[in-house]
Structure 1
């Protein structure tokens, strides 16, 4: 919901942080993969109930997700890099609620599964519209530097990061947090489907 504004704020410091990485010859794809590995390490940390460690790993993953784009802009942006970035992001997002399900399946299974379902809903319509937007050359002025069309919504990247962090800060409240964010994601998916359909229908 506030991703466009947040991107404008954090882009300059990320650009500064990316410069030494570029000088060392570290590529954007290497940052992406490293960040993904760090993020996935949060899964066993959550299962073992080391929530402070999991929180740090999640934040490092999100920092890497910003740095890879900054490195790419200072070197070379590629469709392959954009594909890798978004693919690993979606895997990571679902891995965190999965970890909470595994840690306490009796109490977390339903809420966690609903949240993963809502992630599938938001992600599928997001990616489906991105394909159609590329086909029809639909502009995306809010995200001009992204490798694909980004549909906005109530639940976007920043909100998802906040929720994943809240899980680690307040693991005993996983269920209500998950259910509230499931509702936000479902609203986002519904709006994306309606606006996406209307936009594409006008082009026929």
Structure 2
């Protein structure tokens, strides 16, 4: 829901940094792959209940996630780059939940598992819509130039980052934060299903 609005704030500085990296020969794929390093570090930090460090590493990962697209726009947008970016995103989202689970398995396991199922729902509804939209020749740049159709929803990347920030700042409330965000995810899934039904009907 907030991604399009956030782009008006974060795109200008990312675009400038992306242009600089492209000029010195750094590829978008390298930025995407580099983001896996702080991502893995965040999982380790969460597992050891180092929540401040985990939050910093999560934010670095998300900065790189925005930066790879900026680099690509100043060099070359590729289908493989788009593929690598979205796969890395979903692995990262699930891995962060694993980190919270490892931090306190007794308290967090069920909530983390419930939210992970919800993430599967939002991810599959997003990718299935993009697949059929491509088949029908549909496109949008509401969230910037992308390799495929980016469908909106109540729970998008910005909301997911906000959830991670809150969970790191108040880890003792992870369970209720996770259940609340899972509910938002399911509203998103239902909204996307209704939108897909209206748009993709053949009768």
Partner of residue 75, structure 1: 75
**Higher mean C-alpha displacement, 116-125 vs 140-149:** 140-149
Partner of residue 117, structure 1: 117
Q: Deviations over 1:111-134 (max 9, x none)?
A: 111100000000001000100000
Partner of residue 179, structure 1: 179
| Cα pair 1:121 1:189 within 8 Å, conserved | yes
Pairs aligned (count) = 203
Q: TM-score, normalised by structure 2?
A: 0.96
Unaligned runs of 5+ residues in structure 1 are none
The whole-number CA distance in structure 2 between the counterparts of 1:94 and 1:197 is 28
Partner of residue 13, structure 2: 13
Partner of residue 136, structure 2: 136
The whole-number CA distance in structure 2 between the counterparts of 1:101 and 1:72 is 35
Deviation beyond 3 Å, 4+ runs, structure 1: none
Matches within 5 A, 1:51-62: 51-62=51-62
The whole-number CA distance in structure 2 between the counterparts of 1:126 and 1:55 is 26
Q: TM-score, normalised by structure 1?
A: 0.96
| Cα pair 2:167 2:177 within 8 Å, conserved | yes
Partner of residue 157, structure 2: 157
Give the superposition deviation at 1:144: 4.8
Question: Cα RMSD over matched residues?
Answer: 1.1
| Cα pair 2:51 2:168 within 8 Å, conserved | yes
Q: 1:22 to 1:141 in 2, by over 3 A?
A: closer
The whole-number CA distance in structure 1 between the counterparts of 2:197 and 2:126 is 12
| Partner SS state of residue 143, structure 1 | coil
